């Protein structure tokens, strides 16, 4: 695994939250919070990345995450190019590294990579020149670090801290990069009551998610929870193996107002989107007063601005001194 | 139908020209004219939308209208993101409104929507936050408001006013959003001799286009016309139902120099493009001295700049006081 | 063929290097060199094209050449729009020229065209308004002028001049636009020992590449060469006609360290990319000390900045007085 931090403790790459210290996460969250604006007011803007170039390398370009990274980069003054590439496979006989070297030779400063194949962002990071940063925008089922940060930021905005909170992550944990990055973020930031809630077929391997309690019903999983994080369930998995169809999934694991009532009265409801309304979550809940789903989107831009800025400017913030 | 104007009379959304007052249209045309430059000179530029964000949501991105909106926004200093989305259908289980709320949470100020399904732009407008504008870039067969404005602007540049003019719209009126927006623009701006010219199979329903005369031959439809607006005929409709094939269509409804001679000698010829040369229009006419087709394209950028600027800045122009 | 130079000797269009004078090429290379920066330092930036608009018209948008042109234009301050168009064929009944006239009416200053069909860039150039420039980004097998310039620039950076050098171009010469543009660049700049090396099936017609020696083995073709330019071999051609399969091609024409040893010890190795590693070139060579392949990519941005700037500003540089 390539080192993600520079010798001065600042972030150079962001491929996984695993192994990042609490100080580092706290600093990134603080930077991110500085970029948050209430909706209806102008977005944050700066010129700190003027003249820098960010390349979005997505296998499928029309995603909210691509737009979130693109706007984050543009609002910092960077040039952005979007490429639809399959880094994992060979396109026209060209290897992944030739694409990477080419982008580097075009003076690209940061490569934002979303790829279906595990290991690609780290392989790229291991091979780029010292001045280039690699930021994962979602890696297979393994990692989605900016999502983990934005989820942590969203919780902190509502609950101030993660210590002492009971957080339930519900749904297809086994295949979820969001769950894995949330796990690393929440645990590192002090959450000690983290619960994973899933039907047996969607539970992760026993050696993953150490320290989490496991629940196969919403009733026990949500009991007195402060935070309920619902995951998207892929329709394609429905009806497969031991997994029930959509209606039966909703009947057992769909978050309804009644079930949410089992959590704390001030519990917040989160979802990384896109949502399957009526499958993993009822619209009444998604659009209800406890939902912070739109805050998550807003915080996503802020987190990506913070990460891009620190990765590309390398400036050690005051809090970085003690960071590992 | 969502209100398109703010309480101060300025435009917030632009989904249809139907129901907009003459004062409003006149004001928008005046603003648009201020952005027109002769070809060969630099395009108009400003920074009035610096820091604002425009999202182009097109089901098919490679269209002249997308580029026209994109350049209009960029030349006002806005950030632009392009997304290829099907708002009308559910993509990966995500509803249209979730996409809209997400863009809003990304601090998008204006959503420019082209969609095959009627009603989509209005549904979006009914649901966005107060600071967000929705601009239609073409809605099914229903509405294409910036096209209506640019056509009116083009006519006024050549004929000064629409009152007293005889204007013929020729072709597939039944399926044309351009014809419908032209109809609203031209009638509101004072045109009293508006003619629709089409084979019976392409005539609109009897309760549409009130106040227009209907013609099934070019001979009567074009007689002494000041303006001849030719519409694109979809090849796919050819040979269907009562519609002749391309050659026979051209023989009966194609605009040739001979037929154009039946209009006034100073008549102008318009076409919203893309053209089927040799089907609805002869190249001699399309490229001839009476054609203002390229002016229409140039005016399109100007209209989109005016609309974007008024919608996003909400600044009431001096003339807005009396607008409804 | 449309004139590529303005009366004052500056470049207006760039469609082919054929027929451009040595003075013109030298001036463009000098301008290009001014935009070269070492990797790891910020890319060159200027505002010389502020307010200007560059349209990239590519049949397939995700290519390094599109990104190279896009970044070149953006780093000069221009607005850039990307369109995926098939100029050679009629799309939705719209002719190539209607697309061109439309872009022109949108105040596009430069059209960068990559097209599969020979003759398209010249047809467009013959029809645009006087203030519009047409730049080829690769035309069928005919021409790829910015590649020719960047290859010449790369050689000059390492060898100072082209006179007196022995340069071998190896591979599918017959179908290569790169080879043709290199030929024109290298010959015009004074190279007198230019060799084309290919299996008989990939040799160009006898009346092409006048003045070059022809070799059907690497052994004679590379002997004491200063520069070895390897071309991409399309896998689709493999096994066809008289052409061997990939393994046998590599066995006969693949550039290995052993074969490269037949060239001069300080020979440089080039490739326009994308590479088929293990088919036309061994990875040991592609990534070895004699390879300047990444310099080529870096020089590509510089050349495109120089060409865009001269074409769009029309400013005669001091050296242009004597240019034809």
pLDDT digits (tens, 9 = 90+) for B132-188: 999 999 999 999 999 999 999 999 999 999 999 999 999 999 999 999 999 999 999
Determine the pLDDT at residue A96.
83
Percent of chain A surpassing pLDDT 90: 81
ipTM over 0.90 threshold: yes
Determine the pLDDT at residue A59.
84
CATH of domain A22-142+297-317: 3.40.50.1370
Q: Which of C93, C109, C110 to probe by mutation at the B interface, max B CB count within 10 Å?
A: C93
Query: How many B/C residue pairs have CB atoms within 8 Å?
Result: 73
A232 to chain B: which residues are within 8 Å by CB?
A: 93
**Contact (CB, 8 A) for C304 and C5:** no
User: Is the bond leading into A210 cis (omega within 30 degrees of zero)?
Assistant: no
Would the pLDDT of A91 be above 60? no
Same fold, A22-142+297-317 and A145-296: yes
- Contact: A106, C68; criterion CB under 8 Å: yes
Burial label for A318, CB within 10 Å (0-12, 13-18, 19+), is exposed
- Contact: B105, A67; criterion CB under 8 Å: no
**Contact (CB, 8 A) for C237 and C185:** no
Q: What mean pLDDT is predicted for residues B90-97? A: 59
Determine the pLDDT at residue B314.
87
Q: Which helix (H) or strand (E) holds C29?
A: helix C22-33
- pLDDT tens digit sequence for C43-60: 888 999 999 999 999 987
Cβ contacts of B252 within 8 Å, gap of 6 or more: B199, B217, B218, B244
CATH of domain C145-292: 3.40.50.1370
Burial label for B160, CB within 10 Å (0-12, 13-18, 19+), is exposed
Q: Which residue has the higher pLDDT, C247 or A270?
A: A270
CATH class of B145-293: alpha beta
Determine the pLDDT at residue B72.
98
Q: CA of C60, closest CA in chain B: separation in Å?
A: 12
Nearest of A208, A165, A169, A173 to residue A189 by alpha carbon: A165
Report the distance separating Cα A210 and Cα B66, nearest Å.
50
Would the pLDDT of C191 be above 90? yes
Model confidence band, residue C264 (pLDDT cutoffs 50, 70, 90): very high
Determine the pLDDT at residue A85.
82
Domain ranges for chain A:
22-142+297-317, 145-296
CATH class of C22-144+297-314: alpha beta
Would the pLDDT of B90 be above 80? no
Structure tokens of A11?
């972030």
Partners of chain A (3+ Cβ pairs below 8 A): B, C
Model confidence band, residue A324 (pLDDT cutoffs 50, 70, 90): very low
- pLDDT tens digit sequence for B35-80: 999 988 888 889 999 999 999 999 877 688 999 999 999 999 999 9
Report the distance separating Cα B191 and Cα B213, nearest Å.
12
Q: CA of B37, closest CA in chain A: separation in Å?
A: 28
Partners of chain B (3+ Cβ pairs below 8 A): A, C
Q: Which strands, in side-by-side order, build the sheet including A268-270?
A: A213-215, A193-197, A166-170, A227-230, A268-270
Would the pLDDT of A317 be above 70? no
Model confidence band, residue B320 (pLDDT cutoffs 50, 70, 90): very low
Model confidence band, residue C94 (pLDDT cutoffs 50, 70, 90): low
Q: What mean pLDDT is predicted for residues A294-316? A: 92
Determine the pLDDT at residue A235.
74
Nearest to A275 among B85, B94, B104 (CB): B94
- Contact: B106, A275; criterion CB under 8 Å: no
Q: What is the distance of C-alpha B258 from the center of its chain? A: 28
List residues in chain C touching A: CB distance below 8 A. Answer: 37, 39-40, 42-43, 45, 61-62, 64, 67-68, 70-71, 74-75, 232, 235, 273-277, 279, 294-295, 297-298, 300-301
CATH of domain A145-296: 3.40.50.1370
Q: CA of C144, closest CA in chain A: separation in Å?
A: 18
Would the pLDDT of B323 be above 80? no
Determine the pLDDT at residue C316.
45
Structure tokens of A307?
């990460």
Would the pLDDT of C324 be above 50? no
- pLDDT tens digit sequence for A229-271: 999 998 777 666 667 788 889 999 999 999 999 999 999 999 9
Q: What mean pLDDT is predicted for residues C202-210? A: 97
**Contact (CB, 8 A) for A186 and A204:** no
Determine the pLDDT at residue A63.
81
Q: What mean pLDDT is predicted for residues B16-42? A: 95
- pLDDT tens digit sequence for A142-172: 999 999 999 999 999 999 999 999 999 999 9
Residue A96: closest CA among chain C residues belongs to which residue?
C274
Question: pTM for the whole thing?
Answer: 0.94
Nearest of A297, A215, A289, A221 to residue A257 by alpha carbon: A289
Model confidence band, residue B88 (pLDDT cutoffs 50, 70, 90): low
- pLDDT tens digit sequence for A178-237: 999 999 999 999 999 999 999 999 999 999 999 999 999 999 999 999 999 999 998 777
- pLDDT tens digit sequence for B211-269: 999 999 999 999 999 999 999 998 777 666 667 788 889 999 999 999 999 999 999 99
Q: What mean pLDDT is predicted for residues A297-319? A: 85
C40 to chain A: which residues are within 8 Å by CB?
A: 129-131
**Cα-Cα-Cα-Cα dihedral sign, residues B4, B10, B11, B12:** negative
Nearest to C105 among B42, B235, B297 (CB): B297
- Contact: C62, A81; criterion CB under 8 Å: no
- pLDDT tens digit sequence for A106-125: 999 999 999 878 999 999 99
Determine the pLDDT at residue C96.
83
Q: What mean pLDDT is predicted for residues C159-186? A: 97
Q: What mean pLDDT is predicted for residues C254-272? A: 98
- Contact: C294, A51; criterion CB under 8 Å: no
Report the distance separating Cα C21 and Cα C27, nearest Å.
10
Model confidence band, residue A318 (pLDDT cutoffs 50, 70, 90): very low
Q: CA of C92, closest CA in chain B: separation in Å?
A: 7
Q: CA of A210, closest CA in chain B: separation in Å?
A: 31
Determine the pLDDT at residue B239.
64
Model confidence band, residue B22 (pLDDT cutoffs 50, 70, 90): very high
Q: CA of A176, closest CA in chain B: separation in Å?
A: 16
Name the least confident of A305-319, B81-95, B215-229, C272-286.
B81-95
CATH class of B22-143+297-322: alpha beta
Q: CA of C296, closest CA in chain A: separation in Å?
A: 8
Model confidence band, residue A321 (pLDDT cutoffs 50, 70, 90): very low
- Contact: B62, C53; criterion CB under 8 Å: no
Nearest of B57, B48, B98 to residue B76 by alpha carbon: B48
- Contact: C294, A106; criterion CB under 8 Å: no
Q: What mean pLDDT is predicted for residues C84-106? A: 76
- Contact: A67, B129; criterion CB under 8 Å: no
Angstrom distances, CA of residue C48 to CA of C11, C76, C108, C315: 16, 6, 16, 11
Q: Which residue has the higher pLDDT, A320 or A180?
A: A180
Nearest to A106 among C40, C67, C277 (CB): C67
Helices (DSSP H) in A106-263: which residue ranges?
Answer: 120-127, 145-159, 177-188, 218-222, 246-253, 257-260
Determine the pLDDT at residue A239.
64
Report the distance separating Cα C237 and Cα C1, nearest Å.
31
Q: What mean pLDDT is predicted for residues A60-89? A: 88
**What is the rounded end-to-end Cα distance, in angstroms, of chain C?**
16
Would the pLDDT of A322 be above 50? no
Report the distance separating Cα B144 and Cα C84, nearest Å.
23
- Contact: A43, B51; criterion CB under 8 Å: yes
**Cα-Cα-Cα-Cα dihedral sign, residues C164, C169, C175, C181:** negative
């Amino acid at each position: 695994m390539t080192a993600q931090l520079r010798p001065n403790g600042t972030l150079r790459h962001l491929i996984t939250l695993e192994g990042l210290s609490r100080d580092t996460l706290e600093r990134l969250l603080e930077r991110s919070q500085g970029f948050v604006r209430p909706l209806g007011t102008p977005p944050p803007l700066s010129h700190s990345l003027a003249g820098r170039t960010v390349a979005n390398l997505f296998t499928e370009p029309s995603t909210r995450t691509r737009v979130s990274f693109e706007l984050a980069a543009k609002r910092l003054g960077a040039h952005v190019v979007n490429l639809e590439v399959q880094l994992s496979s060979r396109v026209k006989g060209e290897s992944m590294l030739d694409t990477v070297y080419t982008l580097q030779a075009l003076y690209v400063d940061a490569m934002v990579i979303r790829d279906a194949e595990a290991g690609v962002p780290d392989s790229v990071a291991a091979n780029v020149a010292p001045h280039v940063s690699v930021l994962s925008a979602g890696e297979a089922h393994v990692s989605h670090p900016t999502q983990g940060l934005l989820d942590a930021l969203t919780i902190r905005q509502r609950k101030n801290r993660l210590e002492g909170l009971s957080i339930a992550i519900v749904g297809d944990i086994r295949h979820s990069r969001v769950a894995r990055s949330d796990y690393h973020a929440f645990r590192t930031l002090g959450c000690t009551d983290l619960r994973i809630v899933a039907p047996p077929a969607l539970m992760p391997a026993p050696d993953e998610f150490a320290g989490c309690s496991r629940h196969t019903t919403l009733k026990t999983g949500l009991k007195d929870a402060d935070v309920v994080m619902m995951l998207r369930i892929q329709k394609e998995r429905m009806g497969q193996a031991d997994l029930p169809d959509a209606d039966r999934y909703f009947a057992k694991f769909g978050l309804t107002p009644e079930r949410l009532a089992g959590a704390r009265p001030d519990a917040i409801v989160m979802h990384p989107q896109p949502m399957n309304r009526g499958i993993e979550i009822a619209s009444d809940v998604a659009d209800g007063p406890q939902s912070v789903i739109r805050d998550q989107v807003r915080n996503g831009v802020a987190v990506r601005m913070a990460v891009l800025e620190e990765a590309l400017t390398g400036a050690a913030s005051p809090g970085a001194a003690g960071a590992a």
